[in-house]
Amino acid sequence: MNPAAFPVYLDYASTTPVDAGVAARMAEILLSQKEFGNPASVSHDYGDVANALVEEAREQVAAAVGSTAAQVIWTSGATEANNLALFGTVQYYRERGRHIITARTEHKAVLDPCRELERRGWAVTYLKPDGEGLLDPAQLAGALRKDTVLVSIMHVNNEIGVVQDIGAISSICRPHGAWLHVDAAQSVGKCPVDFANLGIDLMSLSAHKAYGPKGVGALVVSPRVHLSPLQFGGGQERAFRAGTVATHQVVGMGLAFKLASSMSSTETARIAQLQRRLWEGLTRIGGVLRNGSVAHAVPHLLNVSFDGVEGESLLAAVRPHLAVSTGSACTSSLAEPSYVLRALGRSDRLSEASLRFGLGRPTREGDIDAAVAIVSREVVRLRQIAGGYPKGWGAKLSNVPSAAPGRTAAP
Ligand SMILES: *Cc1c(COP(=O)(O)O)cnc(C)c1O
């Protein structure tokens, strides 16, 4: 494809481009004759230099998420961090109990390990969120059992941007003695993250959702918690995650997180304005529904269902001009309506006919206006092919749960 004709990218929730300064520093390390050492080598300066870089990056990540550097364990990404958190804790505490609580709207990198743990004999409770995607802390309190060892609840949802009240959730888990794991892969740079103050026990992070490189992340672990390692080898990362630490990768993550936290509030305000512009533009089409809470969400995501069109046709129609997704990248290969939207009570039809718009640092008003124009044109065209719209409008929307005022746009 001709790069000049590349579609407008509005899929920043699936990944972000690496910040240019971050990429430059990473390349420098890769090309350096002094910074290539093994950070675990203690017998010469090459090792010391690499180790100092790794430890500086650890400080940067810790500072961005409100933990101490000693609590940060490098991983290959949030998927690995989630696996280490889930399998590592339940394995270590297997004599204490074998019950886990999570939510239906979690990322597959939490749900799939949970399914595997069910196959291995653990019991898992999947909490159902309300129609806006929010979990009720009282429902969590009711689901806790004597044998509950771990609660895993994400911070910012990757499909709808909804932010869970982690403080309220941790204050329920703590007195009960259940560890709280939080998948915060989408949080850094979008909203404040404070590991210590929120009372989190384990937290997963990813670099590539925050303008860092792919293939690196971290699990932040409180000293209260013990873990059984999942891989064995040279004892790196205090033996929790054996394997040579990739200096250039973790340096990239450290710099990306430092940058993200320094620009977070002004950037979020700018994104919020763009998101309003996008939503206002889309509502003019009519028959559009916003998915997820408006009040408790980051503005970087906008998830919209389009009534009266077929999801797959809509995605195919906008594809040459607009890079968006329906559901998350990790599940969009499955020709299934989003399980996140279904958990909110959306019908299969409206869950399938949804687009997830992810706004990011490079996004400008022109991108938003182009997206609105493309989506409007294609929705109108597809509705005409389907025999006109609105047709049976009231009946079609009757299966939409608890549409709060202002969340449905009249045609
Ligand atoms: C992207 C993402 C992951 C997976 O992170 P990787 O670093 O790509 O493994 C996990 N959880 C959430 C919420 C995500 O958005």
Compute the distance from residue 171 Cα to the ligand 1 centre, in Å.
25
Compute the distance from residue 382 Cα to the ligand 1 centre, in Å.
33
Smallest CA separation from ligand 1 atom 14, residue: 185
Helix axes 365-385, 247-283, angle to 10 degrees: 60
What is residue 263's predicted lDDT score, i.e. its pLDDT? 84
CA atoms of 176 and 166, how far apart (whole Å): 15
Closest atom of ligand 1 to 209 CA is 1
Binding site membership of 185 for ligand 1 (Cβ less than 6 Å): yes
Compute the distance from residue 79 Cα to the ligand 1 centre, in Å.
6
List all residues 6 or more positions away from 342 whose beta carbon is below 8 Å from its beta carbon. 348, 351
Sheet strand arrangement including 288-290:
288-290, 301-306, 354-358
Q: Which residues of the chain have pLDDT under 70?
A: 1-4, 327-335, 391-411
Given 114, 173, 191, 330, the catalytic residue: 330
Residues 149, 97 contacting (CB under 8 angstroms): yes
Amino acid at position 18, single letter: V
Smallest CA separation from ligand 1 atom 9, residue: 79
Closest CA to 291 of 348, 345, 370, 330: 345
Compute the distance from residue 379 Cα to the ligand 1 centre, in Å.
30
Closest CA to 304 of 294, 319, 317: 294
CA atoms of 224 and 241, how far apart (whole Å): 18
- Could you please report the per-residue DSSP string of 95-163? TT--EEEEETTS-HHHHHHHHHHHHTT-EEEEEPP-TTS---HHHHHHH--TTEEEEE--SB-TTT-BB
Closest atom of ligand 1 to 14 CA is 1
- CA torsion sign for 331, 334, 338, 342 is negative
What is residue 387's predicted lDDT score, i.e. its pLDDT? 84
Binding site membership of 183 for ligand 1 (Cβ less than 6 Å): yes
Ordered domains of the chain (ranges, CATH) = 3-16+264-385 (3.90.1150.10), 32-262 (3.40.640.10)
What is residue 328's predicted lDDT score, i.e. its pLDDT? 53
Binding site membership of 14 for ligand 1 (Cβ less than 6 Å): no
What is residue 400's predicted lDDT score, i.e. its pLDDT? 42
What's the residue count for the chain? 411
What is residue 403's predicted lDDT score, i.e. its pLDDT? 37
Closest atom of ligand 1 to 206 CA is 7
330 annotated active-site: yes
Closest atom of ligand 1 to 79 CA is 9
What is residue 3's predicted lDDT score, i.e. its pLDDT? 54
